[in-house]
A = this chain, B = another copy of it.
Amino acid sequence: MKQNLGHFPKESNVCNCTNIRRASRALTQFYDECLSPSGLTVTRMGMLHQIMELKHPGISELAAAFRIDRTTMNRNLKALLADGLVILRAGQDARKKEVQLTELGTAKLQQAYGLWCQAQQDLEDYLGREELQQLRGSLAKLEALVP
């Protein structure tokens, strides 16, 4: 029975999950490359941007915005803390730690923003406006697969 596997698909690119993971790695590398003059990666810039938008989010609140685990956000924040891009302040609720941008974090975000805009534009030029919109719609549906 060991070699009775002839019904497995022959091509390697059939798994939708493998494909999106591969594309995700590629796009991450593309964006990181575009942002590299700022010293930020796309995950770090994304975190800084969310912190700015949400004003003084708690760690869990910030994690929810990215749909990542709370403990992942906790650890990702440590690098931003170490680099002086954010600070943590105790909220009125003594359990909560509010995340805030420092001046340096704000400056870095601003610096990265222009590069990010170009990356977004480059991607739109590459895929075409139509196809990019379609892709974004499909990605949103995939996100909804998890509660």
In the complex, chain B residues whose CB is within 8 Å of the CB of A90:
none
Which residues A23-41 have CB closer than 8 A to chain B? 23-31
Structural contact, B67 and A26, CB atoms closer than 8 A: yes
**Does A95 sit at the interface, judged by CB under 8 A?**
no
Structural contact, A53 and B15, CB atoms closer than 8 A: no
**Interface extent on A, as a size class?**
35 or more
Oligomeric state, in copies: 2
Tell whether A66 pairs with B22 under 8 Å between CB atoms, given A42-B15, A135-B135.
Answer: yes
Q: Which of B2, B10, B28, B119 contacts A21 (CB 8 A)?
A: B28
**Does A68 sit at the interface, judged by CB under 8 A?**
yes
Q: How far is the CA of A115 from the CA of B50 in the complex (A)?
A: 37
Tell whether A139 pairs with B50 under 8 Å between CB atoms, given A15-B116, A116-B15, A132-B16.
Answer: no
Which residues A111-147 have CB closer than 8 A to chain B? 113, 116, 119-120, 123, 126-127, 131-132, 134-136, 138-146
Would you list 25 pairs from A and B whose C-beta atoms are within 8 A, ordered by A residue?
Answer: A2-B103, A2-B107, A12-B50, A12-B53, A15-B42, A17-B31, A18-B42, A18-B46, A19-B140, A19-B143, A20-B20, A20-B24, A21-B24, A21-B27, A21-B28, A22-B67, A26-B67, A26-B142, A26-B145, A26-B146, A29-B146, A30-B145, A134-B134, A134-B138, A135-B138
